[in-house]
Amino acid sequence: MTTDELRNRYLRDRVLTASPAQRVVMLYDRLTLDLARAASAAPEAASEHIDHALQVVTELLASLDVTVGGPSENLSAIYGYVLRELLAARGGEPERLTGVSEIVEELALAWREVASAPATGRVVSAAGPLAAGAWVS
pLDDT of residue 42: 92
Cα 80 from chain centre: 13
pLDDT at 19: 84
Beta bridge partners of 64: 135
Predicted confidence at residue 44, as pLDDT, reads: 84
How far is Cα 41 from Cα 18, in angstroms, rounded to an integer?
Answer: 31
Task: Choose which CATH entry (1.20.120.340, 3.40.50.300, 3.10.580.10, 2.40.10.170) describes domain 19-131.
Answer: 1.20.120.340
**pLDDT, mean of each 10-residue run, the chain (137 residues):** 69 64 92 97 93 97 88 93 97 95 96 83 43 39
pTM over 0.75: yes
Per the rule left: phi > 0, alpha: psi between -120 and 50, beta: everything else, 19 is beta
CA pseudo-torsion sign 14, 117, 63, 109: negative
Domain extents for the chain? 19-131
Question: What pLDDT score was predicted for residue 117?
Answer: 83
Q: Is 32 left (phi over 0), alpha (psi -120 to 50) or beta?
A: alpha
pLDDT at res. 130: 40
Q: What is the pLDDT of residues 78-87, one digit of tens each?
A: 999 999 999 9
128 phi and psi angles, rounded to 5 deg: 95, 180
| pLDDT, position 70 | 84
Q: For residues 18 and 29, give the distance between their C-alpha atoms in angstroms, rounded to a whole number.
A: 14
108: CB partners within 8 A, 6+ apart: 25, 28, 29, 31, 32
